[in-house]
Amino acid sequence: PYGVIKRQWDFYYIMTKKTIKHASADVGLIFTAYNLRRIFNLIDQNLLKQYLKVLALHFGFLTPIFNAFYGLLYFKNYQPTFLRKNFNCSLNHIYLLTD
């Protein structure tokens, strides 16, 4: 895949070389596009639509279960707002100067 990406797609260098995070994001995007293109070439368009519909149904079925489980975990560490101690500190102080 590196030769195809470098030679055919003209990705000889990475534009955002300031940090590793930015460079890895660029490389991840490039390889995601490469993998999607391979999928489009290997699988028939109608078959891919069927796979995506089934995948969406699975996610639609599993999302409420995950949210319920996550809600139980979140509720375990949840502290109601009326029990929290609010320490508000104003930044605008009034200074009284005496002569």
- The reply to whether 16 and 2 lie within a common domain is yes
> Which pLDDT does position 7 carry in this prediction?
60
Residue 98 has pLDDT above 70, yes or no: no
The C-alpha atoms of residue 32 and residue 84 are separated, in whole angstroms, by 45
Residue 49 in tokens: 């639509």
Instruction: Look at the block and give the residue holding tokens 């391979």.
Output: 38
- The reply to whether 76 and 64 lie within a common domain is yes
**pTM across the whole model:** 0.45
- The reply to whether 37 and 56 lie within a common domain is no
Does any domain span residue 53? Answer: yes
CA contacts within 13 A on the Cβ side of 95: 3
Domain tally for the chain?
2
Does any domain span residue 7? Answer: yes
**Given pLDDT bands bounded at 50, 70 and 90, which one contains residue 58?**
confident
| H-assigned helices in 4-90 | 20-42, 45-76
CA contacts within 13 A on the Cβ side of 30: 21
